Chain A
Amino acid sequence: MSSSRVGPIVRRPLPSQVVKDDEPVLVAAAKAGDISAFETLVNRYERKIFRLTQNITQNREDAEDAMQEAFLNAFQHLENFEGNSRFYTWLVRIAVNQALMKLRKRRPNVVSLDEEVDTGEDLVPRDVEDWGPSPADRYAQTELGGILGKVIGGLDAPFRVVFQLRDIEELSTEETAEALGLSVPAVKSRLLRARLKLRQALNQYFRRGENK
């Protein structure tokens, strides 16, 4: 083994994550009631917001409704956006609330997202197999998207919501805790479990030598 250090998580700058220079101008124009400026922001973020509402609700109709309500609420309450965070982070918080409302309505018996979750599960991983370098490159983008959607849908809601906010939307632990009304330790505990469960679920697709 050449090194005992596992390097930091590498987050590539994706086109969808680049904050364009015109964003403050568009937000200011939308605040003044310019619908076309707001529609430009919708076009910019609709894919990410739909992935978020789809991942949380696991229901296409609910995801579409939650996305619509999120954008509409954002427009209606734009005067409350003070620019202390990115516009997208503010939008994510609205969208996650809409998605959670849909989830609670459709599945009232789901374990409360607000409570501490102690599954009592042993965290010791099974299937300890090397994946080799760049395992995701073995799949076409649409196929990979399907796999990721499937495995995140296999997580219980309290785990997938925290994973979505922390690791996909890149909110901080504190921002995630505040958005979900959870304690910081609860967010950390759920994130650890979510990451381990997803690792386990992805193992069947990415282990070295896996034939598609």
Chain B
Amino acid sequence: MKCKTIITELADYLDEALDSNLRAQIEEHLGKCKDCRVVVDTCKQTIEIFCNSEPAPLPPSTRMKLHEALAKRLRRVRA
């Protein structure tokens, strides 16, 4: 298996969406190729950093605008 194949299969590998045969071939390559292993590992960390990050609170002015607009318009919708 070539390094280029690791890259093209990277997303499905991380999503555990590959059949067991291809997965085994990839893992055999990762055991021998440090560069590919670093790329796969840092790509995984990239996803984890994003999906495990809580969103920041709304800026106060944004939150005030949202709730004022909703209060006004929701009552109109219901009327």
Residues on A lying within 8 angstroms of B by beta carbon are 1, 3-12, 14-16, 33, 35, 38-39, 42, 46-48, 50-51, 60, 64, 67-68, 71-72, 75-76, 123-125, 128-131, 135-136, 141-142, 144-145, 148, 152, 163, 167-168, 170, 188, 191-192, 195-196, 198-199, 202-203, 206
Contacts and interface: CB of A to CB of B under 8 A. Distances in A.
Contacts of A68: 65-66, 69-70
A9 B14 contact: yes
A172 to B, nearest CB: 10
A84 to B, nearest CB: 23
13 contacts: A1-B37, A4-B31, A6-B41, A10-B52, A11-B52, A46-B66, A47-B57, A60-B62, A130-B38, A136-B53, A144-B49, A145-B53, A192-B10
B54 interface: yes
B74 A72 contact: yes
Contacts of A50: 55, 58, 62
Contacts of A152: 50
B22 interface: no
A192 B58 contact: no
A9 B37 CA distance: 15
Contacts of A6: 13-14, 30, 37, 40-41, 44
A67 B70 CA distance: 11
A116 B48 CA distance: 27
Contacts of A60: 62
A8 to B, nearest CB: 6
Nearest to B78: A33
| Majority-rule SS of A interface residues | helix
Interface of B: 3-4, 7-8, 10-16, 27-32, 34-35, 37-58, 62-63, 65-67, 69-70, 73-75, 77-78
A10 B35 CA distance: 22
Contacts of B11: 188, 191-192, 195
Given A4-B32, A123-B7, 20 more contacts: A4-B28, A4-B31, A6-B44, A9-B14, A12-B52, A16-B54, A35-B75, A35-B78, A47-B57, A72-B73, A76-B77, A125-B39, A128-B35, A144-B53, A145-B53, A168-B50, A168-B51, A191-B11, A199-B42, A202-B49
A196 B74 contact: no
Given A1-B34, A6-B40, A8-B16, A195 B10 contact: yes
Contacts of A142: 56
Given A1-B34, A46-B63, A76-B77, A148 B42 contact: no
Given A50-B58, A125-B39, A192 B8 contact: yes
